[in-house]
Amino acid sequence: MNIHQDVVDEQLRMGRVRRVADVTVYWLGQGSFTHEEALSIIEHARGEILTLCPGKEEVFELVIRPRFLRILTERALIEWGATDSVN
């Protein structure tokens, strides 16, 4: 492969990673499921992303998983009405 093809392949891979993350964010924010099912969705996304980017476990744990967990926390606060007691 040449450098141009490597760049194109990397761009395609990163686009797929973004789509996996975006779909996961959507489902976590809108779907109807238990906490355990939500964690399973996150683990599935992790598997997909690490298949696309092997060796990037640390990046997933430091950047992507916290984003997913923030969504779950915000959703829980809203659904439980806890935001009223915080504000």
Q: Positive or negative CA dihedral for 35, 39, 44, 48?
A: positive
- Rounded Cα gap, residues 14 and 75, in angstroms: 27
Residue-wise pLDDT tens digits, 15-58 = 999 999 999 999 999 988 888 999 999 999 999 999 999 999 99
Task: Specify the pLDDT at position 34.
Answer: 85
β strands within the chain, DSSP E: none
Give the residue, 76 or 22, on which the prediction is more confident. Answer: 22
Structure pTM?
0.82
pLDDT-derived band at 87, boundaries 50, 70, 90: very low
